[in-house]
Amino acid sequence: MSAQLVVTRGGTTSRITLALLAFAVIVLAATPWFFGVGGSGRAVALLVYVLLAVMWNALAGFAGLVSIGQTLFFGVAAYTTIRLSNAGLDPYLAILASVAIGAVLGYVTSLFMLSLKDGEFAIGMWVLSSLAHLCVNLDPLIQGETGTSLISLNGYAIETRSSITLWLALVLTLAVLAALFALLRSPTGAAITAVRDDELGARSIGVNVIRTKRIVFVLAATGTAAAGALWLASNLNFQPRAFFGVHWTAYMLFMVLVGGLGRIEGALIGAVLFFVIETFFASYGAWYLVGLGGVAVFFALVLPNGLWGWIGPRLPGEAIPTGYIINKSKT
């Protein structure tokens, strides 16, 4: 009788989660036929929130990089979409090009930002975002805070436009989620979590800390850029303050902290919760923001690990399995 190592990475819980996610994707893809232009617009908003939450969570929850300036990538991607489409590129190609530009910007930014620690990094990112905001304002096409529109999208019929934007948002969101999932399940993913838990300990066992952080940082920049370009495609108007504003950072923080830091499931739930709250309460103006703050305070006091921090441990296995369960069985 010989012993055999059995590694488990997923089970019933993850299979049910996959089925639920597949169902959600089908519903979202079919939205244009059942809920029309308005429904498609809301679906894009949900996907943008998912992108923002999952990417901010990847950065803060997995790599320990708390940034309050991710609007750098959100705003720059929207701006480059405007610029490229104004130069004659198809607006949807401009969106894809802007996502790529976001990735490059993320890589270049990482070369000097990742040597900063904790608060320095957080504030440094905000400074970069503000700097980009000011530079964009100087562009005559943008006309300061007056802004401009993605007028080339008007070349498409409104139904076509809203459907294409939604499907593009769905594809980009799934691609980013798949990339993050694959990354976290890879050996590099475990190294990323190790760096978050103890940087010195990680260095001691050979982890290249800067390289590891860079991978997550660039992915987060790419996903956040996709969110910015999609938000523009959905809303058409580009006013710099609406894209570089610090309120986006507050939304990202809210979604991740309420959903649960350090788990993809937490970010997804946080995004959905934020979307629901916004859908039903945004019309209350200032009281809506007060309510958001109240919810955040409630979670900080009662459920500091977020919704998933409460739900996750009660489930038999991981919903989105990135870890390992190992046992030795006799065969």
Q: Are strands 148-149 and 3-8 parallel, antiparallel or unpaired?
A: unpaired
Q: Give helix 286-302 / helix 247-259 axis angle, nearest 10°.
A: 40
Residue 130 or 305: which CB sits closer to other proteins? Answer: 305
Query: What is the nearest approach in angstroms of other proteins to the Cβ of residue 274?
Result: 24
The torsion of the CA quartet 320, 324, 329, 331, rounded to 10 degrees, works out to 70
Query: What is the nearest approach in angstroms of other proteins to the Cβ of residue 145?
Result: 43
What are the residues binding other proteins (CB under 8 A)?
5, 7, 187, 190-191, 193-194, 196-198, 200-209, 262, 323-328
Q: How far apart are CA 175 and CA 162, in angstroms?
A: 20
CB-side exposure of 109: number of CA atoms within 13 Å? 30
Q: Where are the alpha helices (DSSP H) in 187-285?
A: 187-197, 199-204, 209-235, 240-244, 247-259, 264-281
Residue 93 or 325: which CB sits closer to other proteins? Answer: 325
Q: Which residues contact 199 (CB under 8 A, 6 or more apart)?
A: 64, 209
Residue 1 or 326: which CB sits closer to other proteins? Answer: 326
Helix (H) or strand (E) holding 72: helix 71-86
Residue 32 or 317: which CB sits closer to other proteins? Answer: 317
Phi-psi region of 10 (alpha: psi -120 to 50; beta: other; left: phi over 0): left
Strand partners, 328: 5
Q: How far apart are CA 251 and CA 277, in angstroms?
A: 12
Residue 240 or 262: which CB sits closer to other proteins? Answer: 262
Which string of DSSP letters, residue by residue, matches 142-188?
TTGGG-EE-GGGGGS-HHHHHHHHHHHHHHHHHHHHHHHHHHHHSHH
The torsion of the CA quartet 14, 18, 24, 27, rounded to 10 degrees, works out to -150
Query: What is the nearest approach in angstroms of other proteins to the Cβ of residue 187?
Result: 4
Residue 2 or 283: which CB sits closer to other proteins? Answer: 2
Query: What is the nearest approach in angstroms of other proteins to the Cβ of residue 208?
Result: 5
Residue 118 or 197: which CB sits closer to other proteins? Answer: 197
Query: What is the nearest approach in angstroms of other proteins to the Cβ of residue 151?
Result: 48
Query: What is the nearest approach in angstroms of other proteins to the Cβ of residue 17?
Result: 20
Query: What is the nearest approach in angstroms of other proteins to the Cβ of residue 169?
Result: 31
Query: What is the nearest approach in angstroms of other proteins to the Cβ of residue 211?
Result: 9
Residue 36 or 304: which CB sits closer to other proteins? Answer: 304
